[in-house]
Amino acid sequence: MSTSIESNKNLKKYNTFSIQATAEKFSIFKSEKELTELLSESKQHQLPLLILGGGSNMLFTQNVKGIVLKNEILGIQVLEENTDSVLVKCGAGEVWHEFVIHCVNKGWAGIENLSLIPGTVGASPIQNIGAYGVEVKDTIESVDCVEIETGLKKRFKNTECEFGYRDSVFKKIYKGKYVVTYVTFRLKKQALVNTSYGAIQQVLDEKGITNPTIRDVSRAVVEIRRSKLPNPAQLGNAGSFFKNPEIREKEFTVLKNKYPDIVSFPGSAEGLIKVPAGWLIERSGWKGKVVGNVGIHRLQALVIVNYGGASGQEVLDLSIEVRKSVQELFGIDLTPEVNII
Ligand code: FAD
Ligand code: EPU
């Protein structure tokens, strides 16, 4: 085998929550060939398997039995280019933000609103990352995978990925069945910037930018994110801990009557209203609260933070308390966005 397998690997620096946990076995793959070798080795020893990218959407509540395979497949390749668009294939182990900046520098539009999201390109289709009015599904042409059971390659077209709000087929029937190795994006060369998310327009106005480029939008997004989201390098976290709930219009009207200042956005389907979980959590009195080594971030109530030395169980316990409060006050059950291991 061309790759080495380590035992009892400390995962602390491999998850942005900075949680101490040990993987029974651990290896890194840099190509599809190395991946298939590791898959066959794991199968032979009947090792349970966990695929890891940047660990920015993971909460380890226990040591990991079996093998953790960290994806480091690199490379960016232009497959097709014309005056309107470019088809670009990217290794799943590339750092997402670096890929965004690469595209912005080339003048390829479509993912600039997704600047500064931590993690890897390969994880981007798993939960269909989104921010500031854009979801990655709008730019993905196809997702190349290797099937864990057979080691065979499979290409999923965009429509086969069943993308939804923080959702895809890889979180449903194909959960734990495929490893993403490459993602192919269709990006535009004639930029039509999206500044619909209020805060972007506000930042651009403040800077006096009236005709923004994709670089201006990327910079505005970076500025907004830095102003309210904690940097995992300084304070352990995994971004939004919960998804924003979507409720029926009827239920929303009941809440609106009781809480006239409730914030809302259009939902992902007709008749659904999205209510920011951050608002619900703040109104439940949790914003800025510290419980032992963990807490609810003081600027963004949707983010649970590790103030240092927290266990995954402490984070999970706090999330359960928050969930209970929101359920009691608003009758809404929050769903975690973070993958709890
Ligand atoms: P990991 O955390 O390593 O893995 C996440 C899941 O994907 C796991 O189930 C893992 O098994 C699976 N997985 C990872 N790679 C592969 C692969 N190659 N093949 C198959 N399965 C794989 N998310 C947003 O959508 N929008 C945001 O604005 C946003 N902001 C964030 C801000 C901060 C500060 C942080 C810490 C996180 C934020 N996130 C956001 C969440 C996170 O960045 C994304 O979910 C990101 O896509 C996770 O990438 P990762 O490589 O770290 O995945
Ligand atoms: N809000 C509060 N209190 C808070 C936080 C938010 O009242 O403490 C209310 C405010 O009214 C605010 C609204 O919620 O206007 C929306 O807040 P924000 O713009 O910060 O976004 P969010 O809904 O909390 C979502 C995503 C983020 C993404 C941002 C920007 C989810 C679960 N989260 O957060 O994604 O970056 O929008 O588009 O959809 C992530 O997935 O990890 C993540 C960080």
Helix (H) / strand (E) containing 283: helix 277-283
Q: Which amino acid is at 139?
A: T
Q: What CATH number has the domain spanning 236-340?
A: 3.90.78.10
Instruction: Indicate the CATH number for domain 6-71.
Output: 3.30.43.10
Q: Strand 339-340 and strand 58-59: pairing?
A: parallel
Asked if domains 76-188 and 236-340 share a fold, the reply is no
In order along its 341 residues, the chain shows pLDDT tens digits of: 678 999 999 999 999 999 999 999 999 999 999 999 999 999 999 999 999 999 999 999 999 999 999 999 999 999 999 999 999 999 999 999 999 999 999 999 999 999 999 999 999 999 999 999 999 999 999 999 999 999 999 999 999 999 999 999 999 999 999 999 999 999 999 878 999 887 999 999 999 999 999 999 999 999 999 999 999 999 999 999 999 999 999 999 999 999 999 999 999 889 999 999 999 999 999 999 999 999 999 999 999 999 999 999 999 999 999 999 999 999 999 999 999 99
Q: Which amino acid, one-letter code, is at 257?
A: N
Q: What is each CA distance from 57 to 52, 214, 308, in whole angstroms?
A: 10, 27, 18
Looking at this protein, which amino acid is placed at residue 99? F
Nearest CA to ligand 2 atom 27: 131
Predicted TM-score (pTM) of this structure: 0.97
Quick one: pLDDT at residue 197?
85
Considering 218, 240, 311, 319, which one is annotated as catalytic?
A: 240
CB 117 within 8 A of CB 96: yes
- CA dist 51 to 61, 179, 289, Å? 16, 7, 33
| Spatial separation of the C-alpha atoms in residues 337 and 319, rounded to whole Å | 11
Ligand nearest the Cα atom of residue 285: 2
* Residue 70 bridge partners (DSSP): 28, 52
Nearest to 18 by CA among 309, 315, 323: 309
Q: Which ligand sits nearest to residue 116's alpha carbon?
A: 1
Ligand 1 shell residues, CB under 6 Å: 16, 50-58, 71, 92, 117-120, 122-124, 126-127, 129-131, 179-180, 229, 232, 237-239, 339
User: How high is the pLDDT of residue 25?
Assistant: 96
Q: Is 240 a catalytic residue?
A: yes
Catalytic-labelled residue, pool 18, 94, 166, 186: 166
Contact criterion met (CB below 8 Å) for 8 and 66: no
Residue 301 Cα: closest atom of ligand 2? 8
Catalytic (active site) residue 337: yes
Where do the structural domains in the chain lie, given as residue ranges? Answer: 6-71, 76-188, 236-340
Does domain 76-188 fall into CATH 3.40.50.150? no
